[in-house]
Amino acid sequence: MLTDRLKKVIQESGLPLSRFARQTGVSKNTLVNYRDGATSPSAEFLETVCREFSVNPGWLLMGEEAVNMERDIACSSQDRFVEREDYSLIPLLESRVTGGPDGEILYEEIADYYPFKRWWVEKLVGRCPEKHKNLILMRVRGDSMSPTINQGEIALVDTSEGERVQVLAGRIYLAILPDGTVALKRLVLTGDQEGLRLACLSDNTANYRPFEFPLASGKQLKTYVLGRVRWAGKEFD
């Protein structure tokens, strides 16, 4: 677990907690909460740990066995900077994702942070830093998109506003359904004189039938569309 690896870094640093906290830019109480799993470490804190203590982000975040801690300690500061800049840290959400009254993305706990190569993230969603900040990871609940995306897999969702104010027909989105549940669906936006409608399609056609529902008057599309799925074991355009 992340907390176990963080404890190892703290222990092997040889520093008292108060000094480790100062060096990583947090209070001692915050550090203790991170170490004990009471709260989830921020991305800024984890990046600082990797930089200040020459820790490989792949090992700290995902426990990669191939990492040689002694080798990392011997790295130059320039090498550490390059290594840190090579990765984007994307949060894996513990709780369900939903939408607020004004269309904002709401969630509670962050379970962990996963490192993704920055060049790959830029290839997928572009180089805009704000787009990177709006990427989230979530564990799929339900089998409506099987076999394309199976239950228990991790999906990367782009929740930036640009992905929520339009629908690319047939792409996979994280959507709020009329009964309030949140699910992955292929969406198609249609419209007539009576207003806009959102068609929802599942890849598991044996167990889930397509359906559509009207967008409530005065409600923006982003009230229903939380983001577009860009990766789940493979890339989605």
Query: 130 near 186, Cβ under 8 Å?
Result: no
Which fold is adopted by the domain 91-231?
A: Umud Fragment, subunit A (2.10.109)
Which segments of the chain belong to CATH 1.10.260.40?
2-85
Instruction: Give the pLDDT band (50/70/90) at residue 166.
Output: very high
Alpha carbon of residue 101 to chain centroid = 22
Alpha helices (runs of H) in 106-177, residue ranges in sequence order:
118-125, 129-133, 161-164
Q: Which residues make Cβ contacts (< 8 Å) with residue 149, sequence separation at least 6?
A: 140, 155, 172, 184, 203, 229, 232, 233
Two tokens, residue 144:
């409506």
pLDDT at 74 over 60: no
Which segments of the chain belong to CATH 2.10.109.10?
91-231
pLDDT at 181 over 70: yes
72-81, 90-99, 124-133, 143-152, range with greatest mean pLDDT? 143-152
What single string gives the DSSP state of each residue in 25-67?
A: TS-HHHHHHHHHTSSPPPHHHHHHHHHHTT--HHHHHH--TT-
Question: How far, in Å, CA of 31 to CA of 39, rounded?
Answer: 9
Q: Tell me what pLDDT residue 66 has.
A: 32
Q: Tell me what pLDDT residue 206 has.
A: 96
Q: 126 vs 87, which has greater pLDDT?
A: 126
DSSP character at residue 235: B
**Helix 2-13 / helix 28-36 crossing angle, nearest 10 deg:** 130
Q: Tell me what pLDDT residue 54 has.
A: 82
Question: How far, in Å, CA of 96 to CA of 136, rounded?
Answer: 12
Question: How far, in Å, CA of 135 to CA of 155, rounded?
Answer: 10
Q: Tell me what pLDDT residue 73 has.
A: 31
For residue 43, CA distances in Å to 8, 144, 200 come to 18, 32, 34
Q: 175 vs 128, which has greater pLDDT?
A: 175
Q: Tell me what pLDDT residue 65 has.
A: 43
The class level of CATH for 2-85 reads: mainly alpha
pLDDT at 4 over 90: no
Q: Tell me what pLDDT residue 85 has.
A: 61
Q: Tell me what pLDDT residue 193 has.
A: 62
Question: How far, in Å, CA of 201 to CA of 101, rounded?
Answer: 25
Is 0.85 topped by the overall pTM? Answer: no
The rounded mean pLDDT for the chain is 84
In terms of Cβ atoms closer than 10 Å to its own Cβ (0-12, 13-18, 19+), residue 102 is exposed
Q: What is the mean pLDDT of residues 84-112?
A: 80
Instruction: Give the pLDDT band (50/70/90) at residue 59.
Output: confident
- ω into 147 cis (within 30 of 0): yes
Strand, helix or coil at 155? strand
